[in-house]
């Protein structure tokens, strides 16, 4: 493992004013989003959609890296350019989602474990040869009565750490994504407690597995009340609780923190990141940015709807949300824009 090279890569991914674009929806997730908008759920339409994204003008001004799904790696534009080549021309670092999704955790109803460690070393070596320089693995934690269990948290922390070590051995920066879901009626305080418990276990496992913290990026949820919680807290409180939670449990050496949006509206996700930068930007030890999927892509997908005539307008919407999040990273986002 070349720790200096990994650190340098993490620094490039966390470059000032920029963030990450998650465009790594698995086929099932992408098709679900297409179905809701009446877009045909075929490989060709997924290719057209990803072509729209990678050819968006000015995307590189706000985006330092793009997380891809396996299917996209081998796809090309209508005129035969590979998506990977287009991203590299724009100086957007290509990354890859390497987990293979979640499956029920045996004996723990309602909880899941993420799969994908089998032959991961070989896959990493070939991804590196293709020019991919970072990867992503998502673990999912549900909050319900009596959930999450310690067993679920520990099992997911272990697999995240195994994945991260395998990445670094192959010269790939791991994005470590333990997502505490927003689903449910739990309070902000519950989300804060669970998020801290999860991150404590994750960093303990990363330490045990000798993962270089400088050469990794954490992709966490913001600390939020559940979607059905009657008390929806203000942006100020969410920013304060999120930052104070991370200050307790995320080591200062970590290469960066890049939030997932998790189902927040695009505007709220930008507003909350903006507030964190505005109030706490000078006090936090890590670069703090975004790694959104829905909160960047959703408006563009809704405009596109699978129709070529809508490509330009959809690309403008995509570039706009990316620019809004870049502004939020600087603490300069204008709410409701």
Catalytic residue IDs = 177, 219
Give the one residue of 111, 179, 214, 271 binding ligand 5MM; rule: CB under 6 A: 179
260 binds ligand 5MM (CB under 6 A): yes
Let me know: does 14 contact 256? Beta carbons within 8 Å: yes
| Residue placing its CB nearer to ligand 5MM in the complex, 7 or 256 | 256
201 binds ligand 5MM (CB under 6 A): no
| Residue placing its CB nearer to ligand 5MM in the complex, 23 or 205 | 23
Give the one residue of 294, 299, 315, 323 binding ligand 5MM; rule: CB under 6 A: 294
Say how far apart CA 191 and CA 169 lie, in whole Å: 33
261 binds ligand 5MM (CB under 6 A): yes
103 binds ligand 5MM (CB under 6 A): no
φ and ψ of 284, to 5 deg: -90, 145
| Residue placing its CB nearer to ligand 5MM in the complex, 7 or 294 | 294
Tokens of 133: 């320089």
Number of residues interacting with ligand 5MM: please give it, by CB under 6 A.
16
293 binds ligand 5MM (CB under 6 A): yes
**Token match 């999040």: residue?**
325
| Burial grade of 79 (CB within 10 A; 0-12, 13-18, 19 or more) | exposed
Q: Report CA-CA distances (Å) from 144 to 111, 170, 295.
A: 10, 37, 25
Choose one: 51-59, 109-117, 229-237, 287-295; the region binding ligand 5MM (CB under 6 A).
Answer: 287-295
Q: Report CA-CA distances (Å) from 238 to 172, 191, 268, 270, 319.
A: 32, 11, 11, 13, 26
The nearest distance, CB 29 to ligand 5MM, in angstroms, is 3
116 binds ligand 5MM (CB under 6 A): no
Q: Which of 281, 252, 284, 270 is nearest to 326 (CA)?
A: 270
The residues in 181-200 that bind ligand 5MM, with binding defined as CB under 6 A, are none
φ and ψ of 332, to 5 deg: -120, 20
The nearest distance, CB 115 to ligand 5MM, in angstroms, is 11
> Where on the chain is the footprint of ligand 5MM (CB under 6 A)?
22, 24-26, 29, 97, 101, 138, 179, 260-262, 292-295
């Amino acid at each position: 493992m070349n720790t200096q090279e990994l650190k340098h890569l993490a620094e490039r991914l966390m470059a000032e004013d920029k963030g990450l674009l998650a465009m790594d929806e698995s086929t099932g997730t992408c098709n679900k989003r297409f179905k809701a908008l009446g877009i045909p759920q075929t490989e060709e339409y997924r290719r057209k959609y990803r072509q729209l994204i990678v050819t968006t003008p000015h995307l590189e001004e706000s985006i330092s890296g793009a997380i891809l799904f396996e299917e996209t790696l081998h796809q090309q534009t209508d005129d035969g350019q590979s998506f990977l080549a287009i991203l590299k021309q724009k100086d957007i670092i290509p990354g890859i989602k390497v987990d293979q999704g979640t499956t029920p955790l045996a004996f723990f109803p309602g909880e899941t474990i993420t799969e994908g460690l089998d032959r991961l070393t070989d896959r990493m070596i070939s991804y590196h040869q293709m020019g991919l320089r970072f990867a992503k693995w998502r673990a999912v934690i549900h909050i319900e009565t009596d959930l999450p269990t310690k067993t679920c948290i520990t099992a997911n922390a272990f697999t995240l750490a195994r994945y991260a070590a395998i990445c670094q051995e192959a010269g790939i920066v791991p994005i470590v994504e333990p997502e505490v879901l927003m689903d449910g009626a739990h309070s902000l305080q519950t989300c804060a407690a669970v998020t801290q418990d999860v991150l404590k276990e994750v960093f303990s496992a990363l330490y045990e597995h000798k993962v270089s913290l400088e050469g990794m990026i954490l992709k966490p949820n913001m600390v939020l009340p559940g979607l059905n919680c009657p008390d929806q807290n203000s942006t100020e409180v969410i920013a304060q609780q999120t930052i104070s939670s991370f200050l307790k449990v995320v080591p200062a050496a970590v290469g960066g923190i890049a939030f997932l949006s998790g189902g927040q509206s695009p505007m709220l996700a930008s507003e909350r990141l903006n507030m964190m930068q505005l109030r706490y930007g000078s006090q936090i030890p890590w670069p703090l940015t975004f790694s959104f999927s829905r909160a960047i892509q959703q408006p563009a997908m809704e405009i596109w709807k699978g129709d070529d005539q809508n490509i330009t307008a959809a690309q403008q919407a995509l570039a706009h949300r990316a620019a809004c999040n870049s502004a939020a990273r600087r603490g300069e986002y204008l709410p409701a824009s």
